[in-house]
């Protein structure tokens, strides 16, 4: 029996040795993306991001980009962190322009989420890294941090990545104390929404990128939205009527304000009547790791401004 036992142990060791899943490998130029380990000989210098959250990650890591998908849309919807000047427009995110990509001679193309099936096509041009940032079966915020850290390590900016994340956490903690003081220790429930138009609203909840911002500030989510891929629910505005207390924050821009805010129904909404309804400056809710801190900052600013009034 003895040889068999050794064989068994060996098999077990080999089996487990074959399937370790660290978020990133120890070698600096190896990075694990959604398809497995990817190896590079040198640090890429001509990088293209075809997903806005990935572009955000690189800008936050101070890694220069040469092109992004739909920069106009980025400026309109994401806006922070600002895109550097002179980036090449590579077409819409769901239909990136392969030929223009080729002309730029990139040495790394960053993809995310639904762009996965195209990876093999892009690989003909340059090495590709693809990450599944938003999924129903993982914590989106945690995943963003992992990808941010892995990218930092990959681009030789491990310390910067770690510092920025730590700064963010510290800052959120500080804002939490600030809020707690302003509210005398009793923090309100907060519901974060974006209006699709004057009658329909997107409500952010579990697994959204703004949820960790709310929780980090010590706030409780007001409207229960179960876990989902993008962490949101799409509802008629009347659904907000079920909120009994707490604050509602809506993300700007909202061009049809007059059509909604003037109605008797809206004026009677408990949170509007109580003066617990405030605007948040433009905020991209499907962003990278540091977008959590940016969200926390704007939420804290808005609530603090409200308590001072």
Sites of contact with another protein (CB under 8 A) = 73, 76-77, 89-95, 97-100, 102-103, 113-114, 116-118, 120-121, 124-125, 134, 196-200, 202, 225-226, 228-230, 232-239, 241-242, 260, 263-266, 268-270, 286
Nearer to another protein, 233 or 289 (CB): 233
What is the smallest separation between the CB atom of 286 and another protein, expressed in angstroms? 8
CB contact at 8 A, 80 and 294? yes
What is the smallest separation between the CB atom of 279 and another protein, expressed in angstroms? 18
Nearer to another protein, 242 or 307 (CB): 242
Tokens linked to 90? 């590579």
User: CA angle at residue 229 from 83 to 78, to 5 degrees?
Assistant: 15
- Long-range contacts from 301-308, C-beta under 8 angstroms, 24+ separation: 302/249, 302/278, 303/179, 303/182, 303/188, 303/190, 303/247, 303/249, 303/278, 304/178, 304/179, 304/182, 305/278, 306/247, 306/275, 306/276, 306/278, 307/182, 307/183, 308/182
The DSSP bridge pattern shows strands 200-204 and 189-195 to be: antiparallel
Nearer to another protein, 139 or 178 (CB): 139
Nearer to another protein, 127 or 241 (CB): 241
Residue 275 CB partners (closer than 8 Å, separation 6+): 306
What is the smallest separation between the CB atom of 160 and another protein, expressed in angstroms? 29
Residue 267 CB partners (closer than 8 Å, separation 6+): 261, 273
What is the smallest separation between the CB atom of 266 and another protein, expressed in angstroms? 6
Nearer to another protein, 93 or 176 (CB): 93
What is the smallest separation between the CB atom of 258 and another protein, expressed in angstroms? 10
Nearer to another protein, 112 or 168 (CB): 112
Nearer to another protein, 129 or 179 (CB): 129
CB contact at 8 A, 250 and 283? no
Distances from the Cα of 90 to the Cαs of 73, 116, 119, 127, 184, in angstroms? 12, 17, 16, 17, 50
């Amino acid at each position: 029996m003895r040889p068999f036992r050794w064989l068994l142990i060996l098999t077990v060791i080999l089996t487990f040795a074959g399937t370790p899943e660290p978020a990133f490998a120890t070698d600096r130029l190896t990075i694990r993306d959604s398809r497995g380990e990817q190896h590079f000989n040198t640090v890429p210098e001509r990088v293209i991001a075809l997903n806005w959250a990935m572009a955000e990650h690189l800008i936050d890591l101070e890694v220069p980009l040469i092109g992004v998908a739909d920069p106009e849309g980025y400026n309109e919807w994401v806006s922070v962190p600002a895109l550097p000047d002179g980036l090449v427009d590579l077409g819409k995110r769901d239909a990136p322009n392969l030929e223009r990509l080729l002309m730029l001679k990139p040495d790394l193309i960053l993809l995310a989420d639904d762009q996965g099936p195209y990876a093999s096509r892009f690989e003909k041009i340059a090495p590709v890294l693809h990450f599944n940032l938003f999924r129903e079966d993982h914590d989106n915020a945690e995943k963003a941090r992992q990808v941010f850290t892995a990218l930092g390590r990959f681009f030789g900016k491990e310390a910067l990545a770690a510092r920025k994340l730590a700064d963010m956490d510290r800052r959120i903690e500080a804002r939490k104390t600030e809020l707690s003081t302003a509210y005398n220790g009793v923090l309100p429930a907060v519901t974060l929404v974006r209006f699709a138009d004057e009658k329909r609203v997107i409500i952010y909840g579990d697994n959204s990128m703004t949820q960790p911002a709310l929780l980090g500030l010590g706030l409780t989510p007001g409207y229960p939205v179960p876990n989902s891929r993008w962490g949101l629910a799409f509802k008629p505005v009347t659904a907000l009527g079920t909120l009994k207390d707490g604050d509602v924050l809506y993300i700007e821009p909202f061009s049809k304000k007059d059509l909604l805010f003037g109605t008797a129904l809206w004026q009677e909404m408990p949170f509007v009547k109580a003066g617990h309804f405030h605007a948040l400056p433009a905020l991209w809710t499907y962003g990278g790791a540091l977008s959590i801190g940016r969200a926390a900052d704007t939420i804290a600013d808005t609530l603090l401004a409200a308590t001072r009034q």
